[in-house]
Amino acid sequence: MDRDRLEQQLSEFLPIQLDEMGSAGLMDRVDSKYFFNSDILRALLPLLKDDYRVLVVCNNALQEYNTYYFDTKENKMYFDHHNRKGERYKIRVRTYVSNGFTFLELKHRNNKGRTRKKRLAFSYIDGDIEASLKSFEFEALPYHTGELREVINNSFFRITLVSIKSAERCTIDVGLRFKQNGIEKSLENLVVAEIKKSNHLHDSKLENILREMGVKPKSFSKYCIGRAMLEPDLKQNSFKSVLLSLEKILTNEYI
């Protein structure tokens, strides 16, 4: 990942601050995900600067994230995704490195394809995952929170674009790394993009350009793919097509 070049391209966007985000936070939304080679991103960004503003935090347009994911002893959250259940959850502790904030975050995707996210300020040193989860005014989790365990860590840099014309937010993740039990996997040539909108009917400039470039939406879970890559004995039949595409992207065979 060429951070200097990315930062130069992002400097051509109008900035937006956190306190200006308003409804663009989109804690209740529909998502579309894409992944592609980093060469596509360098061609893509200049085409977006007139339609999106870039989030700037502490003078940085590239935000570093560090995340720890949790699952049950039976890996229920992993297998719910693998088995394509409509209702599924993710629980993580995420640190936003630029400003030092850490949150316990709970994501729920329902069987209608909508994603809801809630988060709570959290101290990883003193925090109690189970007690903190109980403080959420949220649907009952389908498992015992006392069985949660930390299973994988990832880190990456994120670009957040906010549409000038509508309630749309786009996140673009680069420099993705996974860590588990002292083993690290780096995906330097990979870009993971997610378009977050209030509904499916909204027209997106980024979606339109990706379509013109031949990049199609495809499900991608950083949590599940990271575990599949670092735990080859874990059942991963449903992720084989994604893993094959990743291999080609990372070796520059195609987008």
Could you list the pLDDT tens digit for every one of the 255 residues in the chain? 688 899 999 999 999 998 887 654 455 557 889 999 999 999 999 999 999 999 999 899 999 999 999 999 999 999 999 999 988 999 999 999 988 889 988 888 888 777 888 888 877 655 567 767 766 655 567 777 778 889 999 999 999 999 998 888 999 999 999 999 999 999 988 999 999 877 655 678 999 999 999 999 998 999 999 999 999 999 999 999 999 999 888 887 655
Q: Which residues contact 234 (CB under 8 A, 6 or more apart)?
A: 75, 78, 227, 228
Buried b or exposed e, range 169-203, using 16+ CB within 10 angstroms: bbbbbbbbebbbeeeeeebebbbbbbbbbbeeeee
Which domains are present in the chain? 3-250 (2.40.320.10)
Q: Tell whether the torsion through CA atoms of 59, 63, 68 and 69 is positive or negative.
A: positive
Question: CA of 54: how far to CAs of 10, 38, 57, 99, 100, in Å?
Answer: 7, 18, 10, 16, 20
For 147, the 3-state DSSP assignment is helix
Q: How far apart are CA 194 and CA 31, in angstroms?
A: 7
Number of H helices, E strands in the chain: 7, 10
Q: What's the pTM?
A: 0.89
Q: How far apart are CA 141 and CA 64, in angstroms?
A: 29
Please state whether beta strands 88-96 and 14-16 pair in parallel, antiparallel, or not at all (unpaired). unpaired
